[in-house]
Structure 1
């Protein structure tokens, strides 16, 4: 479902290649048959049917292996041998799980990531066995082996019954001649006792049988898809990484991004202080020292040097104010995003129209990130866009803070590796934010950021 951003949606943020693709490709050909008639002969149907056929023998082996290894390992737990047997059984099931993921990837086109790796606190066999036994992924593989066997049996039976019945009845006119020639009866017998027999042998009965078979053939693909949808859920939920672990990994990655960003900001502040205000203050101290020495010998020269030092003080103070404003401006804390972004727009080299429509202020941290994002985007407009004007729109959509910066410049911006926008996207991603760029060559450029409200 597309999320609306003003008059735009995420689906409209297509790359330049996507927009130009219709000019380079031939128009897509419409299939001759509707999906309902096409489904029985589609590759997807045959792949999924093959998946259900293979599921039965594989699940029998997996179920037998799981029950045997778990039973033997549990029975030997009174001795030390039970622990390595259980660990070996769980590792074997993880290997079978890899086979199942590969089978789902090839036949169901379901790409499931491998579960979280084992976390050993120490090196050695005991630590490895402990990690295997403590891993939730290992026991999810056991649960998959136990649950998939009865389901695979049921799915195999239903799929094969529908498949053979449908195609058998549909092709009945082609092989009906087998009955009178080799079995001594006129056709398929529907009913028979000592006095009455009913065979499907007349042209009308053969036609009705064929139509019923066609109906079953048309229904079979959707039955197969319903059956494999359960397999998809089982593979995705039991053989892949757990949502909790995946979220923990994401948070660890985001924490690394936040730490790196904070370190980069500290280095930038240190560099700005060293190259800017600190250098000016050192020069100021030297100038004042020289003026002190010349105070008695040449008062006029000393006065000129003091006057120059006074100008240096003003410049240093302005640089310190700019640096403090770049870290977290006071106007943002006191008056919120509207006033802070208006102040940013006033310092931009191109005219910028700012519209902020917020019912109340978001979390302070989110305000700071939004301010930094708009600041970076307006700097890009000033340095690279060659624009005549720009706009900044900020609004609240459900529990998200939305902001959009647009300009009429030359375009060509992107999230390529190493670009400033790429670093900005990583910073937003660290707080569950999203950055979307729509910037065709020749312009205009529209960059939309989405942040959590967190209030």
Structure 2
């Protein structure tokens, strides 16, 4: 259902979500030609080279500690030795996360530290042995060694052969001058030998080297991608721990938001309706005293009090609407958003395409999200028209507010978008802002669908 307020200049084509619609950065040379000289390639190559000596130390330590602890189990010393080995592996994991952060630009959060319940040695040993993070660090120490050997060999081989072949025309003189042959020996047996020494051979070798140099960065990136997966999957916090941290953060946001709303309601009641009611009670008391002595003055005061009552009632209605509008409960998002649009200073077109209503909590968040965005349109955009679209995709509720204003909105501009982002994040929602300077502005909110 679509409802238009003001001139209908809206494009009825279904808008997209806008996720990731950033203009691509333009370069003079294509990516495949830039790759061999890019800093990313050299950082990842350095990571793969360093992985071999580091993995040798990690693997040797892990196997030694596991073997030693297994051998000492009969004396009951194996358990604390194993716990100590796991703890050292966690220390190596911190070093690996720092190395990945510096060279691979992969930021993996550190897992929660191990703490015993009672604080004693045996409590700490038990906590280390029960920690899945500790065993994943040990698994990384063992599995990373064979992969590091393979990645080191492949990357170094392709890199060295590629650059050596590409620059072969520059250094082929070494062979006749110092080795006594005319060039690199391509084939040789008891009867004849083939050397790369002619002009054609030099050019063909250099061309082959160029091909290898151009494909080597992509091989290195593929190898580094496996390292990224290993570091992120084995050295970071578990998904459960990450989710618990997110929920704790979201709970804090929800509590702070609820407290701020309560303070706002208390302030509005104290400074608005309550103050007017106090003044109204005083005016009615004075009118009561004048009722017998000066009826006309009393009637005038009662008439003024009647006007104040209307103002108080309107303030209470606005306050109730700010808490939860009755139209949203009774008629759903379509009618509620249409009511918001009718109060906007900019002509707004509203389209709600929902076969059913979401859960009340999600519906309320969607309502207040659109309300906040339309307030920004009225106050900051300088737009002539705006549109609101609401639809469902799979298990997500999508809201999109578009205007043809001056643009330039961002999460740090003080327009309330940062606080709105936190509110949406508390329910696993997302807010995406596309607002280039000069406009138009398209803000998309994504909420989980809960029926």
Fold-level similarity (TM above 0.5): yes
**Corresponding residue of 1:246:** 242
1:105 to 101, 106, 115: 101
Q: 1:294 to 1:79 in 2, by over 3 A?
A: farther
C-alpha distance in structure 2 between counterparts of 1:11 and 1:45, whole Å: 24
Map 1:259-278 to 2 at 5 A: 259-278=255-274
C-alpha distance in structure 1 between counterparts of 2:131 and 2:411, whole Å: 37
**Corresponding residue of 2:420:** 424
**Corresponding residue of 2:305:** 309
**Corresponding residue of 1:364:** 360
1:436 to 432, 435, 445: 432
Structure 1 gap segments, 5+ residues each = 23-27
**Corresponding residue of 1:323:** 319
Cα deviation code 1:195-231 (max 9, x no counterpart): x444223757956777666655555444433333222
1:56/1:153 contact within 8 Å kept: yes
**Corresponding residue of 2:4:** none
Deviation of 1:301 after TM superposition, in Å, equals: 4.2
1:352 matched to 2:348: yes
After superposition, the CA RMSD in angstroms is: 3.7
C-alpha distance in structure 1 between counterparts of 2:59 and 2:227, whole Å: 16
1:255 matched to 2:241: no
C-alpha distance in structure 2 between counterparts of 1:299 and 1:105, whole Å: 83
3-state DSSP class of the match of 1:200? Answer: strand
C-alpha distance in structure 1 between counterparts of 2:97 and 2:81, whole Å: 24
3-state DSSP class of the match of 1:201? Answer: strand
Structure 2 gap segments, 5+ residues each = 1-12
Q: 1:135 to 1:381 in 2, by over 3 A?
A: same
1:409/1:443 contact within 8 Å kept: yes
Q: 1:188 to 1:424 in 2, by over 3 A?
A: same
2:195 to 182, 187, 201: 201
Map 1:25-424 to 2 at 5 A: 30-31=28-29, 39=35, 43-77=39-73, 81-119=77-115, 121=117, 123=119, 125-163=121-159, 174-175=171-172, 178=175, 188=185, 190=187, 192=189, 196-201=190-195, 203=197, 219-416=215-412, 419-424=415-420
1:352/1:389 contact within 8 Å kept: yes
C-alpha distance in structure 1 between counterparts of 2:447 and 2:145, whole Å: 45
Q: How many positions carry a matched residue from both structures?
A: 436
* Stretch deviating more after TM superposition (419-428 or 330-339): 419-428
3-state DSSP class of the match of 2:401? Answer: strand
1:13/1:436 contact within 8 Å kept: no
**Corresponding residue of 1:25:** none
